[in-house]
Structure 1
């Protein structure tokens, strides 16, 4: 796979909640464990460890609901943090289809205030091989459905 074939995932989503609440859902380990992961996957609270600052980390493990032996660990490092506005981090790819091990996958989350106490989130993540881009987009969409439910409480 050539570098030119790799793509970045971009998702814009508006949440019916104030920016501070959406930010907290991404940065508070208790809340993060309640919504992250596509439907059919869970993030046990005891696997979540976050140090939300430049140079800090975010570690967790997604566990498949039907087969708990099927897991997906994540170990990212924060490179930019602006409270309630911006989270940028990266992880070194290991076993990601279409990417050489060691490729840096970056995640950028921008939190924008919208009228009516709503929040527009702009997510950029990649690079990804085109063959897994739609799966990543579907996974985020499924996770965001769970986040909507958490924010509605």
Structure 2
């Protein structure tokens, strides 16, 4: 890759996981608050606040994740595409201390049926830095671990 091309690359994140659960259930866990609010944060974090007007194109959400040390991380987004039980696309924006949105990325979750299980492919783009991408990778990996535990119950 040329130096010019390397300077223009924008970090992306891709994670693939397989869950021992039907695709329809995994999709509902991503779109229904009674499921989503029980697993959708990294290990040790809690969700003291979660609101939204539904997983539908144009629907929005706002969530607060509280870290074990008490630090609160607010994020918001808008659903761009909702295709049960195959695909979910939404924006992801961290909110600063004034509640204003910062850099926006787009998360795409694709679900495939695989021998009674569900293969999940998560893609998030584009990050401003590789460090930001790697921080999100760690958060998503832990969050998906929580989803696996939740589905096992």
**TM-score surpassing 0.5?**
yes
Alpha-carbon distance in 1 for matches of 2:55, 2:69: 31
Runs of at least 5 residues in structure 2 that lack an aligned partner in the other structure: 1-5
Counterpart of 2:40 (choices 16, 36, 42) is 36
Q: TM-score, normalised by structure 2?
A: 0.84
Deviation at 1:104, TM superposition (A): 3.0
1:106–1:127 Cα contact (<8 Å) kept: yes
Runs of at least 5 residues in structure 1 that lack an aligned partner in the other structure: 96-100
Q: Map of 1:5-20 to 2, 5 A cutoff?
A: 5-20=9-24
- RMSD of aligned residue pairs (Cα, Å): 2.0
Alpha-carbon distance in 2 for matches of 1:49, 1:113: 28
User: Across the two proteins, how many residue pairs are aligned to each other?
Assistant: 143
Partner in structure 2 of residue 144 of structure 1: 144
Q: Map of 1:1-153 to 2, 5 A cutoff?
A: 4-44=8-48, 46-67=49-70, 70-92=71-93, 94=95, 103-115=103-115, 117-128=116-127, 129-153=129-153
2:76–2:95 Cα contact (<8 Å) kept: no
2:42–2:143 Cα contact (<8 Å) kept: yes
Deviation at 1:5, TM superposition (A): 4.1
1:5–1:130 Cα contact (<8 Å) kept: no
